[in-house]
Chains A and B, each alone.
Chain A
């Protein structure tokens, strides 16, 4: 069973994304409400992928991603950035970080897992 780590400071986003991935795709989901907690959980839980919010207080998504990349225990875990910023300049900036994909809020809870599986190349 696939395991996904969701890192987002907003309760409603975490809850809906977790519901979506668990109920629709049958994946296991673990969550963190900030970058530092997400970094710890990524190393401990070894998820198959990380869904990472961009705008968070304390440590934002891009900084969290850089920390994940710098850690040998987490550097190979694919990261998908999640953002409500839709302007092209933001999209290009996020894509240039080296993440696997940039997904947009609001996502459709019924198709989020399909979208993730497609960009991650998960066919089963």
Chain B
């Protein structure tokens, strides 16, 4: 079946771009996972690691929705807001980050 409408063509090309950009998304997820793992394990997060994690959460928030993952954008945005806090992160915040990250993994696996 041929693709006839601009919308259908765009949707098809978006799927191709998503697959092409998956490695970048996985890299960002790995940075987030590593930071959250360190926070949960040690209850502290080095400032430079927290900044990096906030930056990748920001990038994920800005891109996942355009690939059809609006919940992914929501979760990444919530993580970004917590990671941008100036005060040391609490165990409660660490647990929230872990829960949101797990949900994000599930969302992206669909």
Contacts and interface: CB of A to CB of B under 8 A. Distances in A.
A19 B10 contact: yes
Interface in B51-109: 58-59, 61-67, 70, 73, 77
A109 B14 contact: yes
B14 A13 contact: no
B24 interface: yes
A88 interface: no
B7 A106 contact: no
Contacts of A23: 6, 9-10, 13
A106 B10 contact: no
Contacts of A110: 7, 10-11
B73 A106 contact: yes
- Sort chain B's interface into a size bin: 20 to 34
Interface of B: 6-7, 9-11, 13-14, 17, 20-21, 24, 58-59, 61-67, 70, 73, 77
Interface string A97-108: 000000001111
B63 A13 contact: yes
Contacts of A105: 61-63, 65-66
A12 B6 CA distance: 20
A108 B10 CA distance: 11
A118 interface: no
A10 B59 contact: yes
A84 interface: yes
A16 B14 contact: yes
Closest 9 CB pairs between A and B? A106-B65, A84-B62, A105-B62, A106-B66, A12-B21, A23-B10, A24-B6, A19-B13, A84-B61
A12 B61 contact: no
A114 B6 CA distance: 13
A110 B63 CA distance: 14
A103 to B, nearest CB: 11
A86 interface: yes
B66 A109 contact: yes
B66 A16 contact: yes
B24, B65, B66, B70: residue with the most chain A Cβ atoms closer than 10 Å: B66
